[in-house]
Amino acid sequence: MKKDIHPKSSLKTKATCACGREYEVLSTMPEIHIEICSSCHPFFSGNEKIIDTAGRVERFNKRKALASTKKKK
């Protein structure tokens, strides 16, 4: 491996999310601004919202309910 070609990654960096949460990470940059983190991401926070523009979710739920009533008969 060649010497002195890799940047120093031992800088303690403050990563700031748009929600205001701050993390301390190792990086080559002195400061990082991120848009989304694990505390505000819908998948990890449990606040996932289903965006239904064409009524697909409602149609799926209707088909699912119809299928379950047909199986019971």
Write down the H helix ranges in the chain.
42-45, 56-72
Is residue 18 assigned to a domain? yes
Tell me, what's the pLDDT at 52? 64
Tell me, what's the pLDDT at 44? 67
Is residue 62 assigned to a domain? no
Is residue 71 assigned to a domain? no
Q: Would the pTM of this model clear 0.75, i.e. be above it? A: no
Structure tokens at 24: 């301390």
Residues of the domain holding 18: 7-47
Pick the closest to residue 9 from 23, 28, 24, 25 (CA basis). Answer: 28
Tell me, what's the pLDDT at 59? 87
Write the CATH number for 43.
4.10.80.400
pLDDT, block means (10 residues), the chain with 73 residues: 76 88 88 85 68 77 86 63
